[in-house]
Amino acid sequence: MKKKIAVLPGDGIGPEVTKQAIKVLEVIAERFDHEFEYEKGLVGAVAIEETGDPLPKETLQICLEADSILFGAIGDPKYDNNPNAKVRPEQGLLRLRKELGLYANIRPVKTYESLIQRSPLKEENIKGTDMVIYRELSGGIYFGEKGRSEDGESAYDHCTYTVAEIERIAKLAFEAAQNRRKKLTLIDKANVLETSRLWRQTVQVIAQNYPDVEVEYLFVDNAAMQIILRPNQFDVILTENMFGDIISDESSVITGSIGLLPSASIGEKASLFEPIHGSYPQAAGKDIANPIAMILSVAMMLNHFGLEEEAELINTNITFMIKKGLVTQDLHSRNFISCSKVGDALGLLLDKNIEGVRFENMFEGRLPVI
């Protein structure tokens, strides 16, 4: 298979974790006889510094011509700490979502047995958690009409949804549920919001086409509580933009590190794959960032290409590495390896499929013993 991939490393640790993801892709390409062509583009703070625009036209064109997009991270304290900044890195990502028609954000959340103790939640409550959140990405209050009164004493943000917007992501979520544990939970606020009532009405109609999928409905306040109390009750979660933003970030603490969570954004013109973490500028250039979320995003991209065996091989070997303790310092403060060594070790496993490799030397900064 031949694919053209737009690579947008972005800011902070983005370039470091992206580099490890490319390492993995190169090994996969060699082992399975694929050809991946990469073209890099500027985005975020680095793009502002060089061009004055967080999403230069050249970068957008690279994305439009690609089969898929790998996105690192975005954000810089220089802009975060300046409330008067007219141009911000995050504007680049929002524009990219709009230009590419990215309407569905998909975030899997899974616990690893060997890392359960890292979670702030009780083991008995989170053990076996394996869910995926489908968040509508291009509508709702974030993109509705907004403004302030002339006297500045009031403000408004309109939330608008159409049946078509709800249908297209709901169908993706139902199809995912059919291939998983056949349960879908719609999170809304239908007791108060008219848009939520439209969501519930539309999902009830679509559900008739998926009789094998159990559908439940939760108000967002109750859902937020249930995700903390017993997240392993969920399979596929479907929700609107703002609720999805909040719920998916809440869910990220379950695993014990935000550095373990990948995501995909599916669109009309392209699809984008990125870790859910931010740019973490304090760690930039120190080779300590956790690249697993970025590498798992690569696995999601391969699945999107229909390369299920390749994606599963990555997922299986990441689970193996985590079990062996080959993790960065966010997951183990004493015995850890560097960001680049995670990429090296995974690349070796994917290339050789070696059993009985001794990895102890990696904790001393050396390669494993074969």
H or E element at residue 5: strand 2-10
The angle formed by the CA atoms of residues 320, 322 and 326, to the nearest 5 degrees, is 105
146, 156, 157, 221: the active-site residue: 221
Catalytic residue at 245? Answer: yes
H or E element at residue 192: none
Catalytic residue at 98? Answer: no
> If DSSP states are collapsed to H, E and C, what string results for 183-222?
EEEEEECCCCCHHHHHHHHHHHHHHCCCCCCEEEEEEHHH
80, 130, 245, 287: the active-site residue: 245
Dist. CA 259–CA 264, nearest whole Å: 15
Catalytic residue at 142? Answer: yes
Catalytic residue at 221? Answer: yes
249, 269, 323, 352: the active-site residue: 249
Catalytic residue at 3? Answer: no
23, 189, 280, 341: the active-site residue: 189
* Token digits of residue 265: 């954004």
Residue 86 CB-half CA count within 13 A: 2
Give the torsion through C-alpha atoms of 112, 117, 121, 122, to 10 deg.
100
List 239's β-bridge partners, or say none. 135, 187
110, 142, 171, 183: the active-site residue: 142
Q: What is the DSSP letter of 215?
A: E
Catalytic residues, by residue number, are: 142, 189, 221, 245, 249
